[in-house]
Chains A and B, each alone.
Chain A
Amino acid sequence: MKRNKYGMNLDEGIALSSTEEFELLYVESDCRCERRLVDWIQDEKQAVLFGGQIGCGKTTAIEQAFRLSGKSPDIIFHFDRNDLNLSPLDAWIIIFSEIVRFSAGEYFSVLVSNLPDLKEIFGTTAEELNESVPQVLLEKFSPAALEKHRKFKVMLEPLLDHLPSLFRSVVVAIGEKLGRPLMFLAAGVDKFQPCSPEYFGLSAPLTALAFFKTLFEVNAVHLFTDDPWTKHLEKVVLTSSSQQWIEEMLSKRLGVYAQSYQLEIPILAAFSGGIPRQALRLLDHFISQQKRNINRKEVLINSVESVNRDFFSYSKRPKYDLLKYVSKHKMLETSYISLPGDAETALNAVFGNWLILKQQKNESQWEAFINPVIKNSFDDTISDDPEIALLKKYALQQGMGVSGLDINTEVAGWQQSLLNAIEEPIELNVTEILDAIASALLSGQREDRIIVAYENKANFDAVHAYLEAKSNTYEYQVWRHCIVEGGEGYSPLLKMLEILADKSVDIYSVDLVGDFTIEQLAELNIRRDTFLDKQLIWWIPRNNLAKYLIHWTQLRQLFKVFILEDDISKSLKVEEIEADLKFMEDLVESEKTAAFSYVSNLKKVLTYLKEAKHG
């Protein structure tokens, strides 16, 4: 990710990875676990679980521990990136493909002696192996890749029961040849909620990995669920950070502007609950909303509400009683997490960051507190108000948390506002929306992801052309517009991956049409990281948006959502478009330039507006 050396570095809480990012933005951890990981990397042979709540900085901590130790994992298994529903077979495909990638030089013979058919899929030369692995893992999307992926699946399926022992033989044999045990990183296990089918699919591969020196990146809940594969493993916990640490991190993110926000930084840090990603989201909202409102107190409140809405409005809420208990006693009994049928309470509360774990008190008790951005929603007095009770009931019926639906029930027509609340994440008029989207698209270095929900299909082409024009004001940016269909008989994720495989594109504009099934939405959701470094605009019919967002618990954190009203022609003025065109028209010197794209797209908008005006 491109970073500013002097200015602000705002993002949604993406893990640091490059040397530049660490030098510029890293703040030394105030938790001993990072040092513990370094010791583990350098000296130990057993597997270890490294867990923390969503957004607490696990991936950055792991990266830093490897940097400090001067070592790298021999193999990284990205379980959150490679397959869709993660059946046991899918997880094994990831494992064996990565082993092939690692073995591409001298150890491939070890693999072949155990699985002779590997040669047919991956080839034999180093060149063939290096080309085949990304194909089998669908990192490089093509019909040939799909075919190889399918063939490998067919090959492994009859061997499913024997794959753990095969894996062990191969790893031991490679280790003997290498003269040392292999070290693995099992990344992305934290994305899988215990009790889910996907997590179940991972259990056999994780059990096999646990026999070797493996660092498992897990969610805090995995530390307490007592799964068979985690028994006997050391558990290292990354807890929430201190107020002071968060303040330092926010100051670094603000760069030379930190001094201007010295009064707000401690407040934002307090509302972060010690979760770095939440702190960054608060800062991001604060800075962007401040552009429209000079009253910093109001902006702070709005920022908290925005983060509340981003994280919790659509997530399954834990039981009120549990939150009330934690609020009063500042403590959580973690053994509740492993109770069967507890999905609505402790597990949910910790997995979804409704509760934040602070410090272990004893074997099963943790100091805990309610996430500050939702705390007000659990005020006892609120529950006595009959209208609020009705509000909560509605939210529950819709499968939503009540905290994001902060509606003023004193105002007439609040019920309609309630219905609208889930559909109006950002309140702007159409001109402001278009300006906001266009400014986000103005630079090729940006990595903005935007959802535009539209009601009137007739406006679609004009808005699209307008945004494409504006994105080409100063830099030539290549757009690719595609349709991805959802519903029975379609494979939207595969189509999406095919589109994103085209690296010559700067801005991917994707029209999501049809009714996506829950499974299809979940597939996109679980591939959150695939979209991290892309400039995306997704176009979604307004009627479908709320339904989709409910299932995009991870994805929706990446996107800004805008709702277009239906009458664009009232917002975009013919005179203004003509003035823009008049400026740029004689600067067009050739095709495939910013000026050419700007002018040709604005002409389309002008045509649309003139037709709309004259019927």
Chain B
Amino acid sequence: MDNKIIRAYLLQEVIRLGFSPSSTKDKKKWLLQYGNSLKLFWDTENYPPAPSMNGNVLSATINSSEAVKTLYEYAIESADKFAVRLIHSPNTNLMWTHDMDGGYFCFPNQLFLSMQELRTAAIEKMTEDDLKSIVDTLLIHPTPHQHIESPIDNHDIRIGGGITNPFLYLFHLRIQLCPIPDRRDAERGRLIDLFDYAIRNNTTLTIPDLMAAPEN
């Protein structure tokens, strides 16, 4: 089997396992634990403020560490409608908004893959390199990405483009805005192990496991 096909299935698997909470309660839990995890992961002094819910919109403001000088506000209305505003901190100038508008057509990856019915075969044939590639593609080194040139000049920050899943977008910011290079590397290894185990054993992934910090 072409490894591009294998990776296409793996990509969908990783998104399903880690970034697709279904009920509103699951989404809230995911977001609460996400906020909770950032203090330890970024080694910041404070937790971010708690998320809130206005109508159907889940939102919060996250301050990155002092070193990165970015804060972002997310507002998630549904799985395919959300916005994340990135703001330069502390002067509060808006840099840009990542806006996903599900009212427009989005290529139905999952639909095509389901029609092929190759998931089981793909998982049987997957290698560690396949999973590394997917974790990199989605989180560590998003394939299409932007570098911030100004006012923050840090070439190690890669903000992914074309990300349609709000939880995936937030989680990749957790990694990209982490000020500790060693921790990013360790997190890559941890996530590869975590998803590898869950996919091969056909188990679910708990939110605390996903949000844990790597040991380094």
Determine whether A325 belongs to the interface, using a CB cutoff of 8 Å to chain B: no
**Cβ contact within 8 Å between A587 and B52:** no
Stretch with Cβ within 8 A of A (4 or more), from B25-33, B138-146, B163-171: B25-33
Cβ 8 A contact of B90, one of A291, A470, A584: A291
Interface set of A (CB-CB < 8 Å, partner B)? 4-8, 10, 256-257, 260, 287, 290-294, 435, 438-440, 442-443, 470, 473-474, 575-576, 579-580, 582-584, 586-587, 598
How far does the alpha carbon of A293 sit from the alpha carbon of B52 in the complex, in Å? 27
How far does the alpha carbon of A290 sit from the alpha carbon of B32 in the complex, in Å? 27
**Cβ contact within 8 Å between B47 and A287:** no
Would you give the 0/1 interface string for B66-95, flagging 1 where the beta carbon is closer than 8 Å to chain A? Answer: 110000000000000000000001110000
How far does the alpha carbon of A6 sit from the alpha carbon of B50 in the complex, in Å? 25
Q: Which residue of A lies closest to B151 (CB)?
A: A294
Contacts A442-B47, A443-B47 hold; do A579 and B52 have CB atoms under 8 A apart? yes
Contacts A470-B50, A473-B49 hold; do A260 and B29 have CB atoms under 8 A apart? no
B149: A residues at CB distance < 8 A: none
How far does the alpha carbon of A135 sit from the alpha carbon of B194 in the complex, in Å? 52
**Cβ contact within 8 Å between A257 and B25:** no
Cβ 8 A contact of A257, one of B39, B51, B179: B179
**Cβ contact within 8 Å between B44 and A473:** no
Cβ 8 A contact of B52, one of A256, A291, A580, A586: A580
**Cβ contact within 8 Å between B25 and A256:** no
B183: A residues at CB distance < 8 A: 6
Contacts A474-B35, A579-B54 hold; do A587 and B66 have CB atoms under 8 A apart? no
**Cβ contact within 8 Å between A580 and B50:** yes
Cβ 8 A contact of B65, one of A7, A443, A474: A7
A260: B residues at CB distance < 8 A: 66-67
**Cβ contact within 8 Å between A8 and B66:** yes
**Cβ contact within 8 Å between B47 and A474:** yes
B118: A residues at CB distance < 8 A: none
Determine whether B46 belongs to the interface, using a CB cutoff of 8 Å to chain A: yes
**Cβ contact within 8 Å between B50 and A294:** no
B66: A residues at CB distance < 8 A: 8, 257, 260, 287, 290-291
**Cβ contact within 8 Å between B52 and A8:** no
How far does the alpha carbon of A290 sit from the alpha carbon of B66 in the complex, in Å? 9
**Cβ contact within 8 Å between B46 and A439:** yes
Q: Which residue of B lies closest to A602 (CB)?
A: B50
**Cβ contact within 8 Å between A6 and B25:** no
How far does the alpha carbon of A294 sit from the alpha carbon of B53 in the complex, in Å? 31
Contacts A257-B179, A474-B36, A587-B29 hold; do A598 and B50 have CB atoms under 8 A apart? yes
The 10 closest A-B CB pairs, nearest first, are A7-B43, A579-B52, A583-B53, A473-B50, A582-B53, A294-B91, A442-B47, A439-B46, A474-B36, A579-B54
Determine whether B180 belongs to the interface, using a CB cutoff of 8 Å to chain A: yes
Known: A7-B43, A474-B47. 14 other contacts (CB 8 A): A5-B43, A257-B179, A260-B67, A291-B89, A294-B90, A439-B49, A443-B46, A473-B50, A474-B35, A580-B50, A583-B51, A584-B32, A587-B25, A587-B28
Write 8 A-B pairs (CB below 8 A) sorted by A numbering.
A6-B180, A291-B66, A442-B46, A442-B47, A470-B49, A473-B35, A583-B52, A587-B28
B35: A residues at CB distance < 8 A: 473-474
Q: Which residue of A lies closest to B35 (CB)?
A: A474
Cβ 8 A contact of B50, one of A290, A440, A583, A586: A583
A575: B residues at CB distance < 8 A: 54
Q: Tell me the smallest distance from the CB of A476 to a CB of chain B, in Å.
A: 12
Determine whether B45 belongs to the interface, using a CB cutoff of 8 Å to chain A: yes
Interface set of B (CB-CB < 8 Å, partner A)? 24-25, 28-29, 32, 35-36, 39, 43-47, 49-54, 58, 65-67, 89-91, 179-180, 183
- Prevailing SS type, chain A contact patch: helix
How far does the alpha carbon of A235 sit from the alpha carbon of B92 in the complex, in Å? 54
How far does the alpha carbon of A8 sit from the alpha carbon of B28 in the complex, in Å? 30
**Cβ contact within 8 Å between B90 and A292:** yes
**Cβ contact within 8 Å between A586 and B51:** no
Q: Tell me the smallest distance from the CB of A474 to a CB of chain B, in Å.
A: 4
**Cβ contact within 8 Å between A582 and B52:** yes
Q: Which residue of B lies closest to A440 (CB)?
A: B46
B49: A residues at CB distance < 8 A: 435, 438-439, 470, 473
With a 10 A CB-CB cut-off, give which of A291, A294, A575 has the most chain B CB atoms: A294
How far does the alpha carbon of A47 sit from the alpha carbon of B39 in the complex, in Å? 48
How far does the alpha carbon of A290 sit from the alpha carbon of B89 in the complex, in Å? 10
**Cβ contact within 8 Å between A579 and B53:** yes
Q: Tell me the smallest distance from the CB of A6 to a CB of chain B, in Å.
A: 5
A435: B residues at CB distance < 8 A: 49
B58: A residues at CB distance < 8 A: 583
How far does the alpha carbon of A378 sit from the alpha carbon of B183 in the complex, in Å? 49
A584: B residues at CB distance < 8 A: 28, 32, 50
How far does the alpha carbon of A298 sit from the alpha carbon of B187 in the complex, in Å? 38
B67: A residues at CB distance < 8 A: 256-257, 260
Q: Tell me the smallest distance from the CB of B149 to a CB of chain A, in Å.
A: 18
How far does the alpha carbon of A443 sit from the alpha carbon of B50 in the complex, in Å? 13
B44: A residues at CB distance < 8 A: 7
Contacts A256-B67, A256-B179, A294-B90 hold; do A583 and B43 have CB atoms under 8 A apart? no
Q: Tell me the smallest distance from the CB of A124 to a CB of chain B, in Å.
A: 50
A579: B residues at CB distance < 8 A: 52-54
How far does the alpha carbon of A579 sit from the alpha carbon of B58 in the complex, in Å? 9
B28: A residues at CB distance < 8 A: 583-584, 586-587
Q: Tell me the smallest distance from the CB of B156 to a CB of chain A, in Å.
A: 13
A10: B residues at CB distance < 8 A: 45
How far does the alpha carbon of A292 sit from the alpha carbon of B46 in the complex, in Å? 15
How far does the alpha carbon of A470 sit from the alpha carbon of B49 in the complex, in Å? 8
How far does the alpha carbon of A242 sit from the alpha carbon of B91 in the complex, in Å? 35
How far does the alpha carbon of A6 sit from the alpha carbon of B43 in the complex, in Å? 7
B54: A residues at CB distance < 8 A: 575, 579, 582
How far does the alpha carbon of A233 sit from the alpha carbon of B17 in the complex, in Å? 72
Q: Tell me the smallest distance from the CB of B51 to a CB of chain A, in Å.
A: 5
A293: B residues at CB distance < 8 A: 90
A8: B residues at CB distance < 8 A: 45, 66
How far does the alpha carbon of A117 sit from the alpha carbon of B169 in the complex, in Å? 73
With a 10 A CB-CB cut-off, give which of B45, B91, B179 has the most chain A CB atoms: B45
How far does the alpha carbon of A594 sit from the alpha carbon of B24 in the complex, in Å? 19
How far does the alpha carbon of A6 sit from the alpha carbon of B46 in the complex, in Å? 15
How far does the alpha carbon of A611 sit from the alpha carbon of B24 in the complex, in Å? 31
Q: Tell me the smallest distance from the CB of A337 to a CB of chain B, in Å.
A: 41
Contacts A256-B180, A582-B52 hold; do A4 and B47 have CB atoms under 8 A apart? no
Q: Which residue of A lies closest to B36 (CB)?
A: A474
Q: Which residue of A lies closest to B42 (CB)?
A: A7
B91: A residues at CB distance < 8 A: 294
Q: Tell me the smallest distance from the CB of B151 to a CB of chain A, in Å.
A: 9
How far does the alpha carbon of A10 sit from the alpha carbon of B66 in the complex, in Å? 13
A587: B residues at CB distance < 8 A: 25, 28-29, 32
